[in-house]
Amino acid sequence: MPLQIRAQGLPLLIDDGLRGVLALGQLEVEDASLAVLPPEFDGECERVAARLLNHYAGKQPADIPGVAETRALFHRLDIDPTKTRPSSEALLRRVLQGKGLPRVNAIVDVCNLCSLEHQLPLGLYDRNQVRGPVRVRVGRDNEGYPGIRKAWVNLAGRLLLADDDGGFGAPTSDSKRTAVTESTRNVLVVAFTPPERIAALSTAIEQLAALLGRYCGARIMAVRVVQ
């Protein structure tokens, strides 16, 4: 089914001041399984990693397609990407160092593979923990949240996703409140990209939907691009 037809799902509302600055991919799935991923997924990860190593080993990250564009987006959002790296670039650096992709759980691992391959930062959230419409805006003074990997993520003046309970996601670090856990079955994914990469965004979000269906048995509820 074409991407534009599957446009239901949570309202994703971009503040006027951010229109034209970024594009977002939105994917919602239900009944995703956290069962152990099959060997064919390991093989897919190895093929992607080998291709990236073959093409980009020894190159500066900014010379790699997708990295420079995402860094430019961060600069537009007043985020220094050399101090706060896009999650997709962090995965790429790890792979180019020969470390491979980290393993967390089936849903996170599948999303990391897609983020790495297409060089798009992805936010991954437990859909059941998101309350009301999702607003894409700049953080207010003193705004932030307890993060997944650190005690506090400062989002004052930075791009964030917020629901009725406040901020819960960003292209750098997500909140503990909406984190995917072993009990998560319904998932919201948001991909962040500059508008000039909208074709790559559409391809990536469709591929991710297919991978979550194949490896996690997820039912696709919504797929769309918002700008």
Q: What is the pLDDT of residue 7?
A: 56
- Does the global pTM surpass 0.75? yes
SS3 category, 193: strand
Q: What is the pLDDT of residue 223?
A: 94
Determine the Cα–Cα distance for residues 79 and 157; give it in Å rounded to an integer: 9
The CATH architecture assigned to 3-226 reads: 3-Layer(bba) Sandwich (3.50)
Q: What is the pLDDT of residue 151?
A: 84
The structural domains of the chain, with segments of one domain joined by +, span 3-226
146-155, long-range: CB < 8 A, 24+ apart:
146/175, 146/176, 146/177, 147/173, 147/174, 147/175, 147/176, 148/173, 148/174, 148/175, 148/176, 148/179, 149/173
Both structure tokens of 56: 């980009």
- pLDDT per position as a tens digit, 130-163: 999 999 999 999 999 999 877 899 999 999 999 9
Q: Which residues of the chain have pLDDT under 50?
A: 1-5
- pLDDT per position as a tens digit, 78-90: 889 988 889 999 9
Q: What is the pLDDT of residue 1?
A: 41
